């Protein structure tokens, strides 16, 4: 099998490459090798490489900046999936496209099902929602949330840096979701690709948390591992206390029952995966 992976310099792209099946040959592209805002370039790459599978792990993820760069966010997050779908149409090859919990408005009182109506509240969320539609019914679309990995640009590593620099942190406590380790997400993407059943799926780590809960856990685990010298005081604040340009869903827990049933695998709690990630982080120096 030959797989084309976009966003190879991102944390998910690296995880996909690290967890690839033994008999899989990967063509791994970064944004310099493939401009995802260029639909014609996408068509040329697919035509030249003839992949059996496209794993679109790249995205415009600057949630707040997207509010002032809607055209670029739309080109990368909405147009590119459609370009891949068009390039693969009629070939029998599959597109696996990664989406986000931001396609929902956060008003649910239960975990979001794959079939629930989308109602994004930000430019980023809207661009990803449109991208799902553009990917089409023949794609495998996987929504996820709060992704992090060792060495990546993410909440965990930001917290580690701030915990080394400050005695006190203020973290939002009224946004509820689920952290997701990129390694587990990558394994699920490969698993769903092997099943080859198009549709919309959800993946996250087991358990739920607020950003405050997540930060407190990072401090506890990092202190035990010696990644920080002391645990700072972490104070809970509300979203209103920390205004951002983009509206974020207050509740974005994804129901993953269908995904886990199809794959028949376990569901690791986010605290366990956080510890695994931090151990990896230690090896990076």
d(CA 251, CA 109): 8
Assign residue 122 a region (left: φ > 0; alpha: ψ between -120 and 50; beta: otherwise).
beta
Is 124 a catalytic site residue?
Answer: yes
Strand partners, 28: 5
Contact 149/15 with Cβ under 8 angstroms?
yes
The rounded distance, in Å, linking the Cα atoms of 10 and 64 is 19
What SS3 state is found at 86? helix
How far is CA 152 from its chain centroid?
Answer: 12
How far is 81 from 282, CA to CA, in rounded Å? 36
| Residue 86 in tokens | 């068009």
Indicate the pairing of strand 209-210 with strand 176-177.
antiparallel
Task: Report which secondary-structure segment, H or E, holds 53.
Answer: strand 53-56
Q: Which of 60, 112, 124, 148 is catalytic?
A: 124
Active site residues: 124
């Amino acid at each position: 099998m030959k797989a084309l992976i976009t966003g190879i310099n991102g944390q998910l792209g690296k995880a996909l490459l690290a967890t690839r099946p033994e008999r899989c040959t990967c063509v791994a592209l970064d944004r310099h090798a493939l401009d995802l805002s260029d639909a014609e370039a996408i068509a040329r790459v697919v035509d030249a490489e003839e992949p059996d599978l496209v794993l679109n792990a790249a995205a415009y993820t600057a949630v707040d900046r997207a509010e002032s760069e809607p055209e670029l966010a739309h080109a990368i997050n909405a147009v590119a999936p459609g370009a891949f779908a068009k390039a693969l149409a009629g070939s029998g090859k599959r597109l696996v496209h990664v989406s986000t919990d931001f396609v929902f408005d956060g008003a649910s009182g239960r975990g979001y099902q794959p079939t629930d109506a989308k109602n994004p509240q930000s430019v980023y969320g809207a661009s990803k929602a449109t991208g799902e539609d553009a990917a089409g019914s023949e794609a495998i679309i996987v929504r996820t949330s709060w992704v992090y990995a060792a060495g990546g640009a993410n909440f965990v590593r930001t917290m580690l840096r701030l915990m080394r620099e400050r005695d006190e942190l203020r973290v939002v406590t009224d946004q509820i979701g689920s952290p997701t380790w990129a390694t587990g997400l990558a394994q699920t993407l490969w698993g769903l690709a092997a099943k080859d059943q198009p549709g919309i799926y959800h993946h996250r780590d087991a358990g739920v948390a607020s950003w405050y809960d997540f930060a407190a856990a990072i401090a506890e685990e990092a202190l035990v591992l010696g990644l920080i010298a002391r645990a700072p005081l972490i104070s809970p604040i509300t979203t209103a206390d920390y205004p951002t340009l983009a509206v974020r869903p207050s509740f974005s827990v994804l129901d993953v029952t269908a995904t886990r049933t199809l794959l028949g695998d376990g569901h690791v709690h986010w605290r366990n995966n956080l510890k695994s990630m931090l151990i990896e982080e230690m090896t990076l120096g």
